[in-house]
Amino acid sequence: MTVLALIRPDDWNLPLFLHILGAMVLVGGLVLAVTSLLAAWRGGEVATVRVGYRALLLAVLPGWLVMRIAAEWTLSKEGLEDAKLTWVDIGFSTAEPGLLLIIVATVLAGLAARRGAAGTGVRVAAVLVSVLVIAYLVAVWAMTTKPT
């Protein structure tokens, strides 16, 4: 596989770079959000809820968007739209439902930040974001190891 990566055409570099950049921003934002939301769950501080909400709104959502658009762009450049590859299927199966969970967690964290209380909404958002971190770590593993 290493030899194939060395002879990759140059026109694949930009979409692949943007896909990886978006995924890194997405996972990094999720880690920040889950850390903040879990701290708010334990301590109930509004400032940590706001950090989690802003991480979801300003890093995770744009990161997901860049990752997903660049993934489609990369697939079309490589001619893999119709290919049945396990690692691509894992990526799609985590990305698509992940957006719904991201939106729900963002709304719940935003409502909790606006109310100024770390209640049930923060707990549910923390659990959702924890599930997302695990799912996207599995996707990162699939993208790097490319299981068949």
Position 138 in a domain: yes
Confirm if 78 and 9 have CB atoms less than 8 A apart. no
Does 43 reside within a domain? Answer: yes
Residue 133: partners with Cβ closer than 8 Å, 6 or more residues away: 27, 30, 31, 34
* Averaged pLDDT, 124-134: 93
Is the confidence at residue 122, as pLDDT, over 70? yes
User: Is 1 inside any structural domain?
Assistant: no
Has residue 76 been placed in a domain? yes
Q: Tell me, what's the pLDDT at 106? A: 95
> Would you tell me how many other CB atoms lie within 10 Å of the CB of residue 3?
6
Answer whether residue 67 is part of any domain. Answer: yes
Q: How confident is the model at residue 132 (pLDDT cuts 50, 70, 90)?
A: very high
Tell me how far apart the alpha carbons of residues 127 and 37 are, in angstroms, rounded to a whole number. Answer: 9
Q: Residue 25's domain spans which residues?
A: 10-145
Residue 136 is assigned to a structural domain of this protein: yes
- 59-115 pLDDT per residue, tens: 999 999 999 999 889 888 777 666 677 777 788 888 889 999 999 999 999 998 888
Average pLDDT, rounded, for the chain: 85
Per-residue model confidence as pLDDT tens digits over 4-44: 555 665 666 788 899 999 999 999 999 999 999 988 888 76
The domain total for the chain is 1
The length of the chain is: 148
**Structural domain contains residue 4:** no
Query: What band does 131 get if pLDDT is binned at 50, 70 and 90?
Result: very high
